[in-house]
Amino acid sequence: MNTEDKELVALFEGLDTPGVSDAMDKLGLHGQALGIMPLSNYTQVVVGPAFTVKYVPASNPPGTVGDFIDEVAPGDVVVIDNDGRTDCTVWGDIMTQYAGLRGIAGTVIDGVCRDVNKALGDNYPMFSAGRFMRTGKDRVQVESVQSTVAIGSVRVATRDIVVADANGVVIVPRGRAREVAATARKIEEIESRIREQISQGKTLGEARAALGYHKLQTKE
């Protein structure tokens, strides 16, 4: 990652996808990746710039399916658009092992993965539309890398900021990352004050009303 990548990633330290999602709503941005689920109940939050990959149906003869990974930098999140296909995979155990060795932050797939025991055993962060064992070799091929793709109905440009955890995946447009992070922190601060007030005996309704909870995510 370059200096700006590191700066943008650091902005999201201590935040999670619910807070970032609320901030996106507040700012009128769409970034919640519908149908993309975590492989496990991860305790950590994955944050990193998107390395985007676009798959298409295989040509004749078919092209390659995974060589792009040599270009991915440590700390990046691999974001793969396989057009939501669930009949063949684009990620397996060798990719998981190699990504872990290279320090890649995680993988997001609009499609399916396989060899999930390797990812689970290595605690490698994986987010996808499901799991299936059939190979993508000879069925799909890489069309482009570092181009704009779609993940769960969300547009993802190369180097957008990916935030992913046990709740799912949010894509933050790179040019709005500072604004989104600042808004998420304000929301988290108010929610923290609500938690403090109910621990001191206030009812939830009283605390929410006092701190404007129901308007936290409302677009201004």
Encode burial over 164-195: b for 16+ CB neighbours within 10 A, e otherwise: bbbbbbbbbbbebbebbbebbeebbeebeebe
What is the pTM for the complete model shown?
A: 0.91
CA distance 185 to 13: 10
CA distances from 5 to 44, 143, 169 (A): 19, 25, 18
pLDDT tens, residue by residue, 101-137: 999 999 999 999 999 999 999 999 999 999 999 999 9
Which tokens sit at 25? 């709503």
Give CA torsion, residues 50, 76, 44, 98, to 10 deg. 120
Which tokens sit at 72? 């991915």
Query: How many residues make up the chain in this entry?
Result: 220
pLDDT tens, residue by residue, 49-108: 999 999 999 999 988 888 999 999 999 999 999 999 999 999 999 999 999 999 999 999
